[in-house]
Structure 1
């Protein structure tokens, strides 16, 4: 810490508790999508996020003695509405949470001017990992290229080699769905596998007969899916219908939603999803949420949803934001941090195993840390598999091979900055952070 020891910072924060009642709040708006074609995934995520902050507000009086207002602005996953929500909330916000790669790309240049950090956990523009170029953007704890790296590692380990294999890339025809293509194309050349991109339009999400006819015709060894919302259920249903071997079907973390697999039940057994979060009903945080939020009638969730991957991920996302807030409060000696101070906090998260346990999140998120130069953290994750009833871990903690695409991150970040010149960079950042 630059100015305060932990003990001194705690004393300063303790002294601010008496003035916390005068302070309005920390305004951390969430650009939610509880409606629209992606609502099935949005609802449990938003519920998990909201319940975690409701728990902190009820149990601890917020974060550092100041309440957190995690107000939602509904976008329906529409980029246009997302930008409207950003403009509407930016005046008081210490952070913006776009919840869509499309929205993220639209507000990315604006945050440089408005000086508001973007928190996009596990989504957004992969080169945002480069904190020198993207000073205000954070895609902690893992990015899409991390996901692609781990999926390819898993398949490579399963086969001993990917030489001569054919991998279909079933993806939403949207900026989100196209995110991993630069790395997948690079690795296809290096590992000598055939990459077969198969886009799914927004209007085709629930009827993918054409895409799965192509998959039947091409007979790929594996299908890797970058799906979201209704696309996931549509793809999983078609895979079962066409008798595609589910053990050869792997999705990114947004394609690992319990509700989508429950539609097919035991027929979906073997389907996998890489994930940087995992639900743990026995984690202490779940008991605290039950006591302070659910039993108090403050939650919109239900027991079935609360046991799922996406609700647990929502909790982890809010915990990451709360850790950024805490780091900033301790560094600057005030509970009432501003957006610029939160940026520092998000650059100095250190989620060790010990800290994860202290937060009551045992087993729910891998350890990671961020820095000035590293805005992702590259936590890695676990391969999850649907056993017919629920997702279970079928791997140890996996880590992406970031050395494989560190140059790609730098190149793409540089291209973005050049295309959007003049683009301010943080020259104080070095390679180590």
Structure 2
């Protein structure tokens, strides 16, 4: 009888096994109730100021959703950053590193880099991971029939360029007054900077103004020859399509050569505090585009302050940047990502979503005025409705001017030249489809 295990020990072992199994199941369930979002951020390098603000706002919004709401539909949001330094090769490395994280794999990739976007167009299709490029990236990807996995949402570079011409035209007393005028396009010599070329050339032909193209090499802190040329050309307007250190350098150079900043209009990546504050007085009067607005006095920003910063859980070391342009852009990224999760959960259930399910959520987004008000983002960003064929949305752009201390709104939301832009998008996307052997989707059949 020495080999007989006492009943008490047997029962104890059984209870322990059940408890261990329950704990394991509980851990697995808890892990399964998390939605992973990979963040290919850049907090070091030439463009760190913009990246740190944008990703800070995005992370703070997700943290607020977790703290205030317990996540989305009971599913907590989790994330991990991967440093790209705004470098294409590093961006691809981060994509590969993050894509299998989480219980269902990475559910969305937002590189905040046009170069990285171009590098991943084929990969996201193969891996079934939606790539969201809010206000940047490849414009013709707005044709969802050819690019079902890419979402250049809210507004694209081509739409923005047409609103720039509209804004300049209004300042001249009417779009017809542009005939015979001269506009310099001072642009970052990269995939980002080259996005504006084609549409501005078409606008020049349409409205009869001459366009002078002046590329600036990365990172943009050397512009002596370009501003010598501007001095010689004596343009009526300068479009500054810059990023990072290129922007304050351009504003200082303009002041030095006597070119009025009131005659300079910047791309939205030239229109943040990180672009104007370093330029000092040279930035006063400069105007830039935006797909969201600056300022902390919006309910959504106050919700972040109440639920995150008052608990000492904020992502920004410098709390004065909360409500800045780049920070608020990050909040827009957070809003769109979370609303896509809500949209997809309504169809697939309140559970962690795969990349394929998230793609459906992005493609069926409908953030109308009522929803923006509910989110505390009324006036903060334009309405957004995405469809199978249209992955852009409203295309609306607003303009802000730097008064020496802060950004002031100086326009309503401006409509792009939709007919021109959509025609260009469809023509370019069709060419891409032919080159790649892609059969465009029939959106009428998909419903």
Once the two structures are superposed, residues 357-380 of structure 1 have per-residue CA deviations (whole angstroms, 9 ceiling, x without a partner) of 101112210112111111010340
CA offsets 1:292-335 (integer angstroms, 9 cap, x no match)? 22122222312321131111111011101111111000122233
Shift of 1:347: 1.0
Equivalent residue, structure 1, for 2:407:
391
Residue in 2 that maps onto 1:371: 387
Counterpart of 1:259?
274
Q: Secondary structure at the match of 1:21?
A: helix
Shift of 1:418: 2.1
Corresponding residue of 2:221:
206
1:154 matches 2:167:
yes
Q: 2:441 aligns with which of 423, 426, 433?
A: 426
| 1:29 alignment partner in structure 2 | 38
Rg comparison, structure with higher value: 2
Mapped to 1, the partners of 2:210 and 2:144 lie a distance apart of 33
Q: Could you tell me which residue of structure 2 aligns to residue 71 of structure 1?
A: 80
Q: 1:248 aligns with which of 253, 263, 270?
A: 263
How big is the shift at 1:392? 0.7
Distance 1:429 1:246 in 2: 48
1: CA distance, partners of 2:256 / 2:264: 14
1:217 Cα offset (Å) = 1.1
The CA deviation at 1:162 is 1.0
Tell me the equivalent position of 1:13.
none
* Aligned-pair CA distance for 1:81: 0.4
- Root-mean-square deviation (Å): 1.8
Report deviation, 1:24. Answer: 4.6
- 1:114 aligned partner: 127
Deviation at 1:424, TM superposition (A): 4.9
Shift of 1:197: 0.9
Distance 2:439 2:273 in 1: 42
CA contact (8 A) 1:28 1:69 kept: yes
* Contact 1:20/1:65 (<8 A) preserved: no
Report the Cα distance in structure 2 between the residues aligned to 1:64 and 1:237, rounded to whole angstroms: 49
- How far did residue 209 of structure 1 move? 1.3
Q: Could you report, residue by residue, the CA deviation over 1:122-148 in whole angstroms, capped at 9, with x for unpaired residues?
A: 000000110000000001111101110
Aligned length: 413
Can you list the C-alpha shifts for 1:92-124, whole angstroms capped at 9, x where unaligned?
111111221111011011111111100110000
Q: Secondary structure at the match of 1:267?
A: helix
TM-score by length of 1: 0.92
Tell me, yes or no, if structure 1 residue 318 matches structure 2 residue 331: no
Q: How does 1:190-229 map to 2 (within 5 A)?
A: 190-203=206-219, 205-229=220-244
Q: Which residue of 2 aligns with 1:416?
A: 432
- Structure 2: where are the runs of 5+ without partners? 1-27
Normalising by structure 2, what TM-score?
0.89
Q: Provide closer, same or farther for how the CA distance between residues 227 and 260 of structure 1 changes in structure 2, counting only shifts above 3 A.
A: same
Report the secondary structure of 1:202's partner residue.
coil
Cα deviation code 1:372-405 (max 9, x no counterpart): 1110103402111111111110011211121122
